[in-house]
């Protein structure tokens, strides 16, 4: 498949970590001289984040009936690599059926989908996905899901950790607050556990600490989160930014914050954490394997169901020496998740493939140097 064109296929293009991954991959591959197509199967929820794609990337937003869209998908992927990025944990059998017989299909698993899967779903997934040319797991935790829950062949799975591009510099200027500013960056979905984050934040404030919280994100749980903030009496200490997408604006908010927070219960390898590492932010994170895999000693960790423990960990970060040490660790950690390595590993994956009916024989690999 030397120099084959590449189709990156998504169900929708909203504002989230998956879209950030696809943006980075599409732009980086294009910069390497590869012809890249981003194929959006469903225009519902289409957001302006798509404008961060470089003009050299071809964008195809499919419309019409599902039959029409799937036919167009098959046409677009003809003689091109077809790389699926479908992050909701569903199998999308119609999409997979449209690509049946295609010798160059790759699938990225962006998370551990255990909470939304059952044994039968994984069985069907295994039956379909084992026919692919390769599977990308975005972390070792996701790799474990692929091997133990879906039970994919080990030789099919390659771990390629997410990465983020160099910080985008724009004209936005934000003055840092005088107090201690936390920032949370995630779609407001139930599993992100913003309610738990607010409960711990409220307890820390009750202990007399001058902390503020910036929330960058929007989503289906926003009403519950807002109501909780009001009930806890902390809404006046929150800054609500909604579903911001422009990287220079998000970067300015991260750069002028003092620490990053996430109480999420389930992740793949969160782009928001990698972005925060890039800005040298110390972190307070829920104690789940993907958070430890990404942040390691740049963070303090807490049980996502224990607001008291979260408040305790926040107090640790308020200590100047602790905060400084975690920030230094964040900058060191960020060097492990480079866009260059991320791109090279995808190119190798694509270019090692062959237009044949034989299954791939790659060994299971992980990125060298990751602690």
E-strand ranges in 178-269 read: 180-185, 211-216, 238-242, 259-262
- CA-CA-CA-CA torsion sign (268, 272, 277, 283): negative
CA distances to 17, 21, 162, 248 from 168, rounded to whole Å, are 16, 15, 18, 5
Give the separation between CA 221 and CA 6, rounded to whole angstroms: 35
Whether 345 has a pLDDT exceeding 80, the answer reads yes
pLDDT reported for residue 3: 80
Q: Mean pLDDT in the chain?
A: 92
> What's the average model confidence in pLDDT over 152-176?
86
> What's the average model confidence in pLDDT over 182-189?
96
Pairing between strand 259-262 and 180-185? parallel
Confidence of residue 12 (pLDDT cuts 50, 70, 90): very high
> What's the average model confidence in pLDDT over 266-277?
96
E-strand ranges in 235-279 read: 238-242, 259-262
DSSP symbol at 365: B
Whether 298 has a pLDDT exceeding 50, the answer reads yes
Class of the 6-163+338-351 domain? alpha beta
pLDDT reported for residue 371: 34
Model confidence over 124-143: pLDDT tens digits? 999 999 999 999 999 999 99
Longest alpha-carbon distance in the chain: 65
Residue carrying structure tokens 């984050």: 197
pLDDT reported for residue 362: 42
Give the separation between CA 7 and CA 308, rounded to whole angstroms: 47
Model confidence over 228-264: pLDDT tens digits? 999 999 999 999 999 998 888 999 999 999 999 999 9
**What CATH superfamily is the domain 180-334?**
Glycogen Phosphorylase B; (3.40.50.2000)
Whether 364 has a pLDDT exceeding 50, the answer reads no
3-state secondary structure at position 38 = strand
pLDDT reported for residue 355: 52
3-state secondary structure at position 343 = helix
Model confidence over 79-106: pLDDT tens digits? 999 999 998 899 999 999 999 999 999 9
3-state secondary structure at position 157 = strand
Whether 365 has a pLDDT exceeding 60, the answer reads no
φ and ψ at residue 81, rounded to 5 degrees: -65, 135
All CATH 3.40.50.2000 domain ranges in the chain, comma separated: 6-163+338-351, 180-334
Lowest mean pLDDT, pick from 250-264, 272-286, 304-318, 351-365 = 351-365
Token pair of 333 as six digits: 């950690």
Are 350 and 315 spatial neighbours (Cβ–Cβ below 8 Å)? no
Confidence of residue 78 (pLDDT cuts 50, 70, 90): very high
**Residue 179 vs residue 113, higher pLDDT:** 113
pLDDT reported for residue 369: 39
């Amino acid at each position: 498949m030397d120099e084959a064109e590449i189709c990156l296929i998504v169900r929708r293009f909203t504002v989230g970590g998956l879209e950030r991954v696809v943006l980075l991959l599409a732009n980086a591959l294009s910069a390497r001289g590869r012809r890249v197509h981003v194929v959006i199967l469903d225009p519902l929820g289409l957001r302006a984040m798509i404008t961060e794609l470089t003009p050299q990337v071809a964008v195809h937003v499919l419309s019409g009936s599902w039959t029409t869209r799937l036919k167009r998908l098959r046409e677009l992927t003809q003689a091109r690599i077809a790389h699926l990025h479908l992050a909701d944990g569903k199998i999308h059998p119609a999409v997979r059926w449209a690509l049946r017989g295609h010798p160059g299909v790759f699938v990225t698993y962006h998370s551990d989908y255990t909470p939304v899967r059952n044994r039968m779903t994984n069985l069907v997934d295994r039956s379909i996905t084992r026919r692919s040319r390769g599977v990308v797991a975005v972390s070792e935790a996701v790799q474990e899901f692929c091997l133990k829950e879906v039970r994919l062949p080990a030789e099919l799975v390659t771990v390629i950790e997410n990465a983020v591009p160099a910080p985008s510099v724009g004209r936005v200027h934000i003055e840092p607050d005088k107090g201690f500013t936390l920032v949370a960056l995630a779609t407001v979905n139930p599993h992100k556990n913003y309610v738990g984050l607010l409960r711990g934040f409220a307890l820390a404030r009750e202990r007399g600490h001058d902390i503020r919280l910036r929330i960058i994100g929007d989503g289906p749980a926003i009403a519950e989160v807002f109501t909780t903030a009001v009930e806890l009496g902390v809404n006046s200490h929150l800054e609500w930014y909604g579903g911001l997408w422009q990287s220079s604006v998000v970067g300015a908010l991260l750069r002028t914050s003092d620490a990053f927070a996430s109480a999420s219960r389930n992740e793949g390898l969160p782009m928001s954490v990698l972005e925060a590492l890039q800005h040298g932010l110390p972190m307070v994170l829920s104690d789940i394997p993907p958070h430890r895999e990404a942040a390691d000693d740049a963070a303090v960790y807490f049980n996502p169901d224990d607001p008291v423990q979260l408040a305790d960990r926040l107090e640790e970060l308020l200590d100047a020496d602790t905060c400084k040490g975690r920030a230094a660790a964040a900058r060191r950690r960020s060097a492990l998740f480079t866009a260059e390595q991320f791109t090279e590993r995808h190119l190798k994956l694509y270019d090692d493939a062959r237009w044949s009916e034989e299954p791939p024989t790659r060994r299971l690999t992980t990125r060298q140097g990751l602690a």
